[in-house]
Structures are given as C-alpha cells and as structure tokens.
C-alpha cells in the first residue's frame, strides 16, 4: 500500500468506528480485524501503519468526530507527512480544501471530564487515560516459569507481581500456547484481593472470557473449585478453550439469565469462600486500550451500568458463605461505580464490613483501593473486599 492508500484506509475505518460508536456497534479492534480480513493484499507493515493512524485519530478527538476524514485531517494538521498523503492520487484521499474542518481535539467529552474531576482524577491524570498501554502478561506457572519466559521474550518483572512480565510493544506471543496470558498488571493486582488459596470454592460471577478466572486457578495451584458465570454466551464460550490450553482443570462454567441469576445458582447460595464480581462498567480505566469507548459513554449508559452493579452485588452477596469474602471490581475511575457503590452496599448491609487491602499498587479510595494509569502505570481499577458476618 502507498502512504496515501494507508491514509485512505484509516479514513474508511474511522468512518466505521464513528458509526459503531454512535450506534452501539463493534469495537475498533474488531472493525480493524474485519477490514483487513477482506484485504489480503495488505501486508503486516501496512496493517500496523493503518492501525496506528486510526488510533492516533481516535486518541486526539475527545468528542465523536463528524467523519473519518475530519478525524484524519486533525492528525494531518499536526503531522506534515500525513498531510502530504492527501494528494488525490490513486487510492489516496482528495487534497485538503481551504477551510476544510478538522475534528476538534480533546481528551474526552466535557461531562466526563467533570465527573472524573469530581472523583479525584485531575487534568494530568485524565490525559494519562488515553496514553498507549504497555503489553503485560501473567505467566502461567502450571505451564512455564517467569524467569524462563523473561529470558526468551525480553520482558521485565513488575514489582509486587512475581508472575507478571512487561514486554516490549509488538512482542510476538503466538507461540506461547498456554504458557502465559495477556493481562494488564492492574487486572492481576485486583485479582489478588480475592486471596485465593488451594482448596477453596470460588465464584467468578461476571467471568467474561476468563482472564481473572485463570489467574485465580493459578493462585489455587489448580486445586479447588471455580464456577465461572456470565450472561454473555459468546464471551463465556471462550473460557474453557483457554483453560484447557493453560492446563486448568478446576473451572466449570454456567450461563445465567439476566435478573434470574440466583435461580441458576441455588446450589451455590451461602457456599462460596469468595465471590469475585468484575462488574459491568463504563470502562473509563481501559481507555488506553479502547480509546473510542469514551465516545460511546453517555449519562444514560452510565446510569444503566450503576443499576447493573447494584444488582450483581446483591447476587454475589447471596453466594458468600458466613465469614467469606465478596470482592467487587470495576475497571472505572468514577466514584459512582466504585467507592459510592461499596458505601451504598455497606449502608444496606450493616452487618458486612470492608476489609483493608494490602496490594502492591494503588491508593485508598473510600472503603477500597483505586489504581490509575498516571500513578500506577496500570489500567484504571477500583477494588474492595467485603466480608460477610459469621
């Protein structure tokens, strides 16, 4: 592909990303993968270059751009090499017209900036939310050894996480085959709050594709029982193949019906040593990986997430045995999804208590701990551990 063709491809992809953001469609990564699946002529360098252009444009525009072209014009305004590709040649975008509007720059929509500021995330910390994320992995000790993988891949250890490595961007992970899982250091840190040990019975209530489920299984040394549940069939279906590759044999999955979860979990009520709730949320802590997500969030969607969070907290609480732990996690930096939710739960359940957490990163926020990209070099998370009375 010529440089102009790469820019035009980025414009086409940005149009698709913008439409998806407005209509609740697929994520940018998925759209990029689909785009190149039908364009086999594009080599790996072409795909990487186009992807970089797309994400540069997404990160630069805090509000949803009018079009893919306007988003790329904003990049061109700051990069002469990109501007030069608007030359009207074959497969390249048309020349830039005098006075043609470019997308407005910014970090995020104003209402979100205000909400984050009210949650203690200042302007500098907000800017860090759309930086490029590092490549972190969790080494699976059932299959490999951190030192051996570090020597092979060139990774560096992460303080406080003996099974974690931070790898150079672009490291080829295709040959790992269960030796490690791509998992942000923050995700690994909040998993420690479960305090999983061999022999326990644990429920991962919102398991999704199972990244934290597999981290718990490794901490349990593949000894005990983990029930991984979700209401999303597609995401949950990816867990068991991953578990098999990782050599994990203590996980079972169960698909739940929304609002009828406890009917399907009657055999687990009051039985779990620990319940992990990685709650559905706004994802403000993961914008480094999904920067277009800030275009999708609205006050109405945020309100819907907080209602879901209250519901899953009640479901999870019913599963915890007396003296057991309920670990609440969101990949959000908004207090309304983190500290405020825990405060409301404790007010409604005065016999429960929050247990102080000793984690290798993060700072106290309400009755829990918050990690943020600016301070901790991780994705953003809030985590709290709540103890049911005996």
Statement: residue 175 has pLDDT above 90: no
Give how far the C-alpha of residue 274 lies from the chain's centroid of Cα atoms, to the nearest Å. Answer: 22
Contact 25, 113 (CB under 8 A): no
CA-CA-CA-CA torsion sign (262, 264, 266, 268) = negative
**331 belongs to the catalytic site:** yes
Q: Is the pLDDT of residue 319 over 90?
A: yes
**For 163-172, what is the mean pLDDT?**
91
The β-bridge relationship of strands 363-365 and 135-139 is unpaired
pLDDT band per the 50, 70, 90 thresholds, residue 224: very high
CA distance 25 to 15: 12
**DSSP label of 149:** H
DSSP state of 131: S
Q: What pLDDT shows up at residue 296?
A: 93
Indicate if the pLDDT at residue 240 is higher than 90.
yes
CA distance 70 to 63: 12
What does residue 244 show for φ and ψ, rounded to 5 degrees? -65, -45
Reduced 3-state DSSP string for 36-105: HHCCCCCCHHHHHHHHHHHHHHHHHCCCCCCCHHHHHHHHHCCCHHHHHCCCCCCCCCCCCCCCCCCCCC
Which carries the bigger pLDDT value, residue 24 or residue 218?
218
Model pLDDT, residue 32: 95
The whole-angstrom distance between residue 292's C-alpha and the CA centroid of its chain comes to 13
Q: Would the pLDDT of 41 be above 90?
A: no
Contact 284, 302 (CB under 8 A): no
pLDDT in tens, 126-143: 999 999 999 999 999 999
pLDDT for the residue numbered 355: 98
Q: 369 pLDDT band (50/70/90 cuts)?
A: very high
Q: Which two tokens mark 139?
A: 């080494």
**What's the chain's length in residues?**
390
Query: Is the pTM value of this prediction over 0.75?
Result: yes
pLDDT tens digits for 5-21?
A: 999 999 999 999 999 99
The catalytically annotated residue of 206, 281, 331, 390 is: 331
Residues 315 and 205: beta-carbon distance below 8 Å: yes
**pLDDT surpasses 90 at 170:** no
Least confident segment among 196-200, 208-212, 328-332: 208-212
| 177: pLDDT strictly greater than 90 | no
Q: CB atoms < 10 A from the CB of 99, how many?
A: 5
Predicted confidence (pLDDT) at residue 24 exceeds the cutoff of 90: no
CB atoms inside a 10 Å sphere around CB 254: 16
Distance, in Å, from the CA atom of 193 to the CA atom of 270, rounded to the nearest integer, reads: 20
As a whole number, the mean pLDDT across the chain is 95
State the Rg of the chain over Cα: 22
Terminal Cα distance for the chain, rounded: 66
d(CA 356, CA 250): 29
Task: State pLDDT tens for residues 44-82.
Answer: 899 999 999 999 999 999 999 999 999 999 999 999 999
CA 279 to chain centre: 11
CA 67, distance to chain mean position in Å, is 26
**Alpha carbon distance 17, 37 (integer Å):** 16
Per the CB < 8 A criterion, the answer to whether 368 and 338 are in contact is: yes
pLDDT in tens, 84-138: 999 999 999 999 999 999 999 999 999 999 999 999 999 999 999 999 999 999 9
- The pLDDT value given to residue 84: 97
Contact (CB, 8 A) for 109 and 62: yes
């Amino acid at each position: 592909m010529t440089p102009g063709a790469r820019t035009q491809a980025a414009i086409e992809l940005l149009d698709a990303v913008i439409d998806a953001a407005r209509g609740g469609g697929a994520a940018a990564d998925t759209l990029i993968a689909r785009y190149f699946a039908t364009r086999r002529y594009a080599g790996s360098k072409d795909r990487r270059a186009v992807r970089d252009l797309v994400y540069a444009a997404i990160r630069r525009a805090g509000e949803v751009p009018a079009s893919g072209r306007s988003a790329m014009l904003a990049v061109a305004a700051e990069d002469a090499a990109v501007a030069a590709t608007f030359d009207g040649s074959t497969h390249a975008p048309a020349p830039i017209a005098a006075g043609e509007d470019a997308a407005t720059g910014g970090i995020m929509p104003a209402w979100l900036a205000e909400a984050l500021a009210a949650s203690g995330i200042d302007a500098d910390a907000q800017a860090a939310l759309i930086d490029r994320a590092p490549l972190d992995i969790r080494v699976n000790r059932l299959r490999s050894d951190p030192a051996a993988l570090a020597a092979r891949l060139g990774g560096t250890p992460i303080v406080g996480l003996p099974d974690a490595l931070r790898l150079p961007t672009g490291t080829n992970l295709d040959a790992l085959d269960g030796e490690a899982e791509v998992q942000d250091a923050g995700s690994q840190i909040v998993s420690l709050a479960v305090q999983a040990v061999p022999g326990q019975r644990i429920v991962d209530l919102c398991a999704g594709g199972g990244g934290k489920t597999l981290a718990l299984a490794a901490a349990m040394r593949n000894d005990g029982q983990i029930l991984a549940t979700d209401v999303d069939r597609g995401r949950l279906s990816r867990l068991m193949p991953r578990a098999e590759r990782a050599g994990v044999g203590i996980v079972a999955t169960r698909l739940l019906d929304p609002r009828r979860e406890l009917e399907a979990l009657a055999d687990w009520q009051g039985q779990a040593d620990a319940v992990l709730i990685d709650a559905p949320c706004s994802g403000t802590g993961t914008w480094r990986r999904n920067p277009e997500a800030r275009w999708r969030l609205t006050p109405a969607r945020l309100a819907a997430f907080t209602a879901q969070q209250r519901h899953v907290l009640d479901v999870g609480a019913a599963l915890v045995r007396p003296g057991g732990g309920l670990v609440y996690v969101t990949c959000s930096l908004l207090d309304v999804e983190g500290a405020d939710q825990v405060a409301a739960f404790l007010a409604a359940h005065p016999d429960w208590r929050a247990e102080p957490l000793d984690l290798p990163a993060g700072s106290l926020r309400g009755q829990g701990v918050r990690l943020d990209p600016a301070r901790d070099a991780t994705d953003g998370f809030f985590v709290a551990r709540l103890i049911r009375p005996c």
